[in-house]
Amino acid sequence: MKKNDIGTNAGLVWRTLYYKGTKATFNDLMKETGLTAIDLSSAIGWLAREDKVVFTQENGEDNIDIYRDC
């Protein structure tokens, strides 16, 4: 996997969360983006490193959402 591909996938994940307007689970994001587990994990790691996403836990599920500075 190329570094450029990870960045492209990170953009896809960010846009998916942005237009969804709410948090999502890892499995939801896999279904919605069509990314493999490794591609999605890499993209989320990229976004986390850039402080673009936040992680929460609700009802025993881990959720991912974009960082919204409100």
> Tokens in use for 61?
């599920």
The 3-state secondary structure of 25-61 reads CHHHHHHHHCCCHHHHHHHHHHHHHCCCEEEEEECCE
User: How many CB atoms sit inside 10 A of residue 15's CB?
Assistant: 12
Give pLDDT tens digits for 9-35.
Answer: 999 999 999 999 999 999 999 999 999
Q: Which residue ranges make up each domain of the chain?
A: 3-66
pTM score? 0.91
Six-digit token string for 5: 């591909």
Check if CATH label 1.10.10.10 holds for domain 3-66.
Answer: yes
At 39-65, the pLDDT tens digits run 999 999 999 999 999 999 999 999 999
> Longest C-alpha distance within the chain, in Å?
36
